[in-house]
Amino acid sequence: MGKTTKKRRGPHPSAKAELDVPVRVGQTVEVEITGLNHEGAGVGRIEGYTLFVTGALAQERVRARVEHVKKNFGFAKMVEVVEASTYRALPPCPLYDRCGGCSLQHLDYAEQLRHKQQIVRDNLRRIGGFQVEGEGAITVHPTLGMSDPWRYRNKAQVPIGEENGALVGGFYAEKSHSIIDMEACMIQHQANDDAVAVVKKLAAQLQIRAYDEQRHTGLLRHVVVKVGVKTGEVMVVLVTTEEEIPQRERLVEAIREQVAGVTSIVQNVNAERTNVIFGKKTVTLWGSDVIYDYIGPIKFAISARSFYQVNPAQTEVLYNKTLEYAGATGTETVIDAYCGIGTISLFLAQKSRHVYGVEIVPEAIADANRNAELNGVENVTFEAGPAEVVIPAWKEKGIRADVIVVDPPRKGCDEALLATILEMQPERVVYVSCNPSTLARDLKVLAERYEVREVQPVDMFPHTGHVESVALLVKDDIKN
């Protein structure tokens, strides 16, 4: 009976060796890397079994320790480079091998740009079924990168914790909630680093307890810093578990004295057991409720919780390409789906007759209206609601779009919105994407009536695996 019972139970779930795969957890293997995946990990194969190796590059032979295995693929971490790629670079960040913020500092920047172009091409071919080479192929342009791909992030969201009784603040180690204490981040604006360092020092001096997410105790959860790159204005946001901050006046006064450029000090209260950074209540402790920045000629008000692109220099590159693809001459009606706080809408309004923006988040629409008023832009209309509901309602009112611009989240466009676009048949569709795989999936749907002319990748996040792109679709009269 005992043997029968054991057979029914089967192997223990942790017995990964029971899987019929050629590697096991803890094993060190030597593997040749043939490419990189979308997260920047090396792709190798052992007896046909795919192994994703963190820290490895294409055209390298490495020794790696297997950390996790599944039926069809596994994960490993590089321990030694046996044969190095000519594109391998020395990461300038001393914490690069521990921090999870970057994944490609070890790859030459020019090669990062080529890799991101190839990621877009591969997704278009594999998921979308498009030709990316030869006659009739979609043109995927070389990735537009930065002349100086460092210190570009205008927003820091730094978790605060305790280690050996001391307050620490930094970024999480890769795939964990273990905080790596740090004084400087190579991709953060210097003003962010400076402000975080000041708050960490002051919190320690004033004995403000850091949050312990395991015990759900302590006060200070996160320090969020936003900087207006063009204006130099700095906002410091203290995310706390309670409204009451011990010695709050002293803390605020010290931040005012020691953080250069600070014009806004804000508190956000988040008492929940959650990984979400912000809670529902936000109060301004000192200064303005917002800071200001510019993307090109357009001025934006940025509040503690409003979304704003973290790399404004590359955002201007992306939006100028969007404006070019829209082909606006001043006579067109444009619909901007997923308009957010109106960033793309206000860019498009410069050369359009009228722009209609729709966004499901009411607070974002309030910000969009405020930004339109701030810039004296009157040829825009913003409405809150699902794009697939609002846009047909506009159509019923006689609004016909010459151009529809979409800038969806990573999950891509809602199916109903794609159907609405196909029904409305604007002359052009401009698709701004932060995820090449959902871009390819959605373009395949739109290709029913549109010719996908070209795609322009833009490197919004140097030294990470992320790639943004903008695609131009033109109505195909043959298909219509």
Angle of helix 436-446 versus helix 109-126 axis, rounded to 10: 40
What residue segments make up the domains of the chain, in order of their start? 2-83, 139-145+311-475, 155-295
Residue 441: phi and psi, rounded to 5, are -60, -45
pLDDT of residue 480: 62
Binding residues: 309, 338, 359, 407
Topology, domain 2-83: OB fold (Dihydrolipoamide Acetyltransferase, E2P) (2.40.50)
Cα–Cα distances (Å) from 347 to 4, 296, 386, 448, in that order, read 70, 9, 22, 29
Per-residue pLDDT of the chain (480 residues; tens, 9 = 90+): 343 333 444 444 443 446 889 999 999 999 999 999 988 999 999 999 999 999 999 999 999 999 999 999 999 999 999 999 999 999 999 999 888 889 999 999 999 999 999 999 999 999 999 999 988 899 999 999 999 999 999 999 999 999 888 899 998 887 788 899 999 999 999 999 999 999 999 999 999 999 998 899 999 999 999 999 999 999 999 999 999 999 999 999 999 999 999 999 999 999 999 999 999 999 999 999 999 999 999 999 999 998 899 999 999 999 999 999 999 999 999 999 999 999 999 999 999 999 999 999 999 999 999 999 999 999 999 999 999 999 999 999 999 999 999 999 999 999 999 999 999 999 999 999 999 999 999 999 999 999 999 999 999 999 999 999 999 999 987 766
- The answer to whether domain 2-83 and domain 139-145+311-475 are alike in fold is no
Would you name the residues annotated as active-site residues? 434
Residue 180: name the closest of 169, 193, 166 by CA. 169
pLDDT of residue 370: 95
Residue 169: name the closest of 151, 156, 154, 155 by CA. 156
pLDDT of residue 314: 97
CATH class of 139-145+311-475: alpha beta
Binding residues for S-adenosyl-L-methionine: 309, 338, 359, 407
Token representation of residue 209: 């307890």
Residue 427: name the closest of 400, 454, 409, 408 by CA. 400
Residue 208: name the closest of 172, 166, 170, 178 by CA. 166
Residue 199: name the closest of 162, 164, 167, 166 by CA. 167
Residue 39: phi and psi, rounded to 5, are -95, 0
Rounded CA-CA distance 200/403 in Å is 48
pLDDT of residue 18: 66
Mark 424-450 as b/e (b = at least 16 C-beta within 10 Å).
bebebbbbbbbbbbbbbbbbbbbbebb
Rounded CA-CA distance 323/142 in Å is 19
- Tell me which DSSP letter residue 262 carries: E
- Please say whether the structural domain 155-295 has been given the CATH code 2.40.50.1070: yes
